[in-house]
């Protein structure tokens, strides 16, 4: 384990909270539709901040910590792109006006960051207490990889997840966005606006993604601090990245296959680690620098192959890959599209 100074922990948390508050002020102070130039600027800004933090980690904590951070951040960033597919569907299903999409994304991402922090703490405790935790994580990732490929051509039903259904039962839902409010009054009655349902849908969706992404990042680093930092900096730039690549997502037709290969690779890495530590030291481990190279190579090949495929078959479009969400039966989906 890497020794993390208390001041480095504190500085990182302050930086993450400061960046999020700054992002919130920028997005909510003046609701507006985000254009390509603005999305590009903020995407580059947050990627630059994440990279600079990685160099600071490398300098302060050493080469091993720096390599593990970058590997974890790249894994989380690539998995976050998969989140964006579902976010696009959510925005479309609830017909969210362009000027309110930033607010919904940010509140959803804030909830995701809090929930992932809890998951990271639970994962760290499990690793300390149970030697077979890496085996379980590895099997979860391999199972997820298989399911990701199996369901790559299906679309999740984002309006019918458990928390959204419960929210509808607790309070009436308005058809009006009421200027971007979460709650409002109609005819003397307190109601939820569709924006609150969008916030719940985004937050709960990311919670489901965290069940896979947290074990994945623990596959490249066992240090909770680096797991937290990789998740935080991957999530912070998600709002801007959403608007930057919203129109490009459907071109990544092989993303589900690429991500499934990455998850399966990390799953095998975790299982080998368990066997090395608990069964036989002669069983080889997969070093983190090699993991970083393999993950980058898979992402490059996936992206290039997707671009080549779409050029040859422009009618093909990528789909969301949230395998844990309820999916529309094919007949129901066909009826929705025809209407």
pLDDT, tens digit, for every residue of 261-320?
888 998 898 899 888 888 888 888 888 888 888 888 998 898 899 888 888 887 777 665
Q: What is the pLDDT of residue 12?
A: 94
Alpha-carbon span 168 to 186, nearest angstrom: 16
- Is 33 in contact with 99 (CB distance < 8 Å)? yes
- Is 221 in contact with 72 (CB distance < 8 Å)? yes
Domain of residue 308 covers 6-323
Strand partners, 185: 190
Q: What is the pLDDT of residue 103?
A: 77
Specify if 330 maps to a domain: no
pLDDT, tens digit, for every residue of 230-243?
989 988 878 778 77
Specify if 107 maps to a domain: yes
Alpha-carbon span 138 to 187, nearest angstrom: 53
Beta-sheet pairing, 189-192 with 183-186: antiparallel
Specify if 335 maps to a domain: no
pLDDT band at residue 59, thresholds of 50, 70 and 90? very high
pTM: 0.77
Specify if 314 maps to a domain: yes
Q: What is the pLDDT of residue 330?
A: 46
Specify if 188 maps to a domain: yes
Tokens of 12: 């990182």
- Is 231 in contact with 94 (CB distance < 8 Å)? no
Alpha-carbon span 30 to 140, nearest angstrom: 42
Q: What is the pLDDT of residue 337?
A: 46
The number of domains in the chain is 1
Specify if 338 maps to a domain: no
pLDDT, tens digit, for every residue of 191-203?
888 888 888 887 7
Specify if 31 maps to a domain: yes
Does the structure show a pLDDT above 90 at 21? no
Tokens of 161: 């997840």
Specify if 50 maps to a domain: yes
* Mean pLDDT for all residues in the chain: 80
Among 109, 61, 46, smallest CA distance to 69 is for 61
DSSP string, 152-168: TT--B-GGGSHHHHHHH
Among 86, 94, 106, smallest CA distance to 167 is for 94
Alpha-carbon span 309 to 312, nearest angstrom: 5
pLDDT band at residue 49, thresholds of 50, 70 and 90? very high
Half-sphere exposure of 224 (CA within 13 A, CB side): 14
pLDDT, tens digit, for every residue of 94-131?
888 877 887 777 777 787 788 888 888 888 888 888 77
């Amino acid at each position: 384990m890497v020794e993390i100074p208390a001041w480095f922990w504190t500085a990182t948390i302050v930086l993450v909270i400061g960046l999020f508050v700054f992002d919130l002020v920028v997005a909510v102070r003046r609701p507006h539709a985000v254009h390509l130039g603005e999305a590009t600027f903020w995407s580059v800004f947050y990627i630059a901040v994440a990279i600079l933090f990685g160099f600071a980690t490398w300098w302060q904590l050493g080469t091993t910590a720096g390599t593990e951070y970058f590997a974890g951040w790249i894994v989380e960033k690539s998995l976050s792109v998969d989140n964006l597919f579902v976010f696009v569907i959510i925005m479309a299903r609830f017909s969210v006006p362009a000027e309110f999409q930033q607010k919904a994304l940010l509140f959803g991402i804030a909830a995701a960051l809090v929930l992932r922090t809890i998951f990271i703490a639970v994962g760290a405790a499990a690793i300390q207490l149970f030697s077979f935790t890496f085996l379980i994580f590895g099997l979860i990732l391999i199972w997820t990889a298989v399911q990701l490929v199996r369901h790559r051509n299906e679309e999740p039903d984002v309006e019918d997840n458990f928390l959204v259904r419960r929210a509808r039962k607790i309070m009436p839902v308005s058809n009006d966005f009421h200027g971007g409010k979460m709650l409002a009054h109609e005819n003397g009655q307190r109601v939820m606006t569709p924006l609150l349902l969008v916030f719940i849908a985004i937050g709960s969706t990311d919670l489901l993604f965290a069940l896979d992404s947290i074990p994945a990042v623990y596959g490249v680093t066992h240090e909770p601090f680096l797991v937290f930092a990789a998740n935080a900096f991957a999530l912070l730039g998600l709002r801007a990245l959403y608007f930057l690549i919203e129109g490009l997502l459907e071109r990544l037709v092989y993303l589900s296959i690429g991500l499934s290969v990455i998850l399966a690779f990390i799953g095998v890495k975790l299982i080998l680690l368990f066997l090395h530590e608990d069964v036989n030291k002669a069983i080889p481990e997969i070093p983190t620098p090699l993991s970083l190279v393999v993950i980058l190579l898979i992402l490059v090949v996936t992206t290039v192959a997707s671009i080549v495929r779409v050029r040859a078959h422009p009618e093909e479009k990528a789909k969301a890959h949230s395998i844990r969400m309820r999916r529309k039966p094919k007949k129901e989906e066909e009826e929705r599209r025809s209407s």
